[in-house]
Amino acid sequence: MIADYLIRLDDACPTMNKCNWDIIESLLDRFQIKPLVAVIPDNKDKSLFLNKTNSRFWDKVREWNRKGWSIAMHGYQHIYTTNSRGIVPIGIKSEFAGIPFDLQRERIRKAWGVMLNENIKPEIWVAPSHTFDSNTLKALYMETEIRIISDGIALNIYYDGIFYWIPQQLWRFRYFPFGKWTVCLHPNTMEQKDFNQLEQAVIKMKKKPVSFQNIEMVKRKKNVPDKLFERLFFFILNRKRKWHCVNNG
């Protein structure tokens, strides 16, 4: 059995680093790879004001969609207002986790409306910094047609009774003999060496990354290997955080 890899590109917005996004789009097109793009519906995060506003941004999103790239709803405005870590405790700040349900529902409703108004109907949710809670999921269920989450730590896709979860475990390519692995990339901050590493990783792969649109959604619950892998993942993550704190005062 050969592992399946998926590529996710985060933080697409009208003020993104257009040069970097053009580079990665050209690279992926060359290898006929169709990624998931996490699009911020109404970006207000100043750290992502990297270029002048592209008035044709949504044309680009529709172009991605037409050629088979999957589009995800990436939060609402990408503004962090709490330090809650939510139910996937990778990030340490959040636009949603810890926020009252009614406000979360309003943000989800507005985000969904922005995308529908641009003739984009996302099927997948991507939370900024991975941080969201049970109220976020409830709001998504009530205000949108999204039933797939790109997040969670497991060895394969799983189902919680309402949502399918496509786990997101990697930020660069690593070899695994089995499972489904999402590699999350941030084109806005990538450097030439990062594009080179991506290209070499794809060239060396026995099987090119698969499209999110071609993934079979199986109603599979998390099993013991999934849970053991999740525990190991967060054990290593927390060890790295402690090391960083000790060595950075």
CATH of the domain at 122: 3.20.20.370
In a domain, 149, yes or no: yes
CA–CA distance, 223 with 129 (Å, rounded to integer): 25
Write the CB contacts of 101 (distance below 8 Å, at least 6 apart in sequence).
Answer: 135, 138, 139
Q: Which amino acid is at 180?
A: K
CA–CA distance, 182 with 89 (Å, rounded to integer): 17
- Confidence class of residue 1 from pLDDT cuts 50, 70 and 90? low
pTM of the predicted model as reported, rounded to 2 decimal places: 0.93
51: domain range?
4-223
Each as own residue / partner, the long-range contacts of residues 199-202 (CB below 8 Å, 24 or more positions apart, any chain) are 199/27, 201/172, 201/173, 202/31, 202/33, 202/173
In a domain, 245, yes or no: no
In a domain, 104, yes or no: yes
Which helix (H) or strand (E) covers residue 106, if one does? Answer: helix 101-117
In a domain, 236, yes or no: no
In a domain, 242, yes or no: no
How many domains, in total, are found in the chain?
1
Q: What is the pLDDT of residue 241?
A: 65
- Residue 247: is its pLDDT beyond 50? no
Cα separation values, 222 from 26, 159, 175, Å: 36, 8, 22
Does residue 184 come out as left (phi exceeding 0), alpha (psi in the -120 to 50 range) or beta? beta
**125: closest CA among 43, 70, 67?**
70
In a domain, 234, yes or no: no
In a domain, 231, yes or no: no
- Torsion angle (degrees, nearest 10) of CA 152, 211, 119, 20: 90
pLDDT digits (tens, 9 = 90+) for 82-135: 999 899 989 889 999 999 999 999 999 999 999 999 999 999 999 999 999 999
In a domain, 238, yes or no: no
Percent of the chain with pLDDT over 70: 96
Q: 3-class SS at 82? A: strand
CA–CA distance, 147 with 151 (Å, rounded to integer): 12
Write the CB contacts of 249 (distance below 8 Å, at least 6 apart in sequence).
Answer: none
CB burial of residue 135 (10 Å; 0-12, 13-18, 19+): buried
Q: Which amino acid is at 182?
A: T
